[in-house]
Amino acid sequence: MKDSLQVGIRYHHRFTVPASKTVPALYPEAPEFVAMPEVFATGFLVGFLEWACILALKPHLDWPAEQTVGTHIDVSHEAATPAGLEVMADVTLVEVDGRRLVFEVEASDGIDTIARGCHERVVIDRARFDARLEDKKP
């Protein structure tokens, strides 16, 4: 981790929602999901918020040897967003506790606030992480 990894880091991220990020696409194997409205899926919204946090942190890490993984998410999903709209995420690093990082996150679709909450990530050494993961494989 670089010395620049400090509370107060902010990032603004934009993404246009394609049909492939709507609820029916989340689990195409599940007929219950396929029958749902074509709106930005909560699962993909979480990934979008994680992506914004990753981009916020990347300049402050020894990338790609150091990376971050999500460990906790507490986010509301407050409004539906149809495919074709642009979503915007604003993330702010509010706590650094060793390798543990906490972000306040908020997203909108230009019409409504669609999400707000907090997200925690942990800095990992990618080689060590991969080695531990290899030990778990069947």
Q: Which residues are catalytic?
A: 42, 50, 77
Transcribe 30-72 into DSSP letters: -HHHHTS-SBB-HHHHHHHHHHHHHHHHGGGS-TTTEEEEEEE
- Alpha carbon distance 15, 93 (integer Å): 20
Tokens (6 digits) for 29: 């194997």
Dig out the tokens for 6 from the structure.
Answer: 């400090």
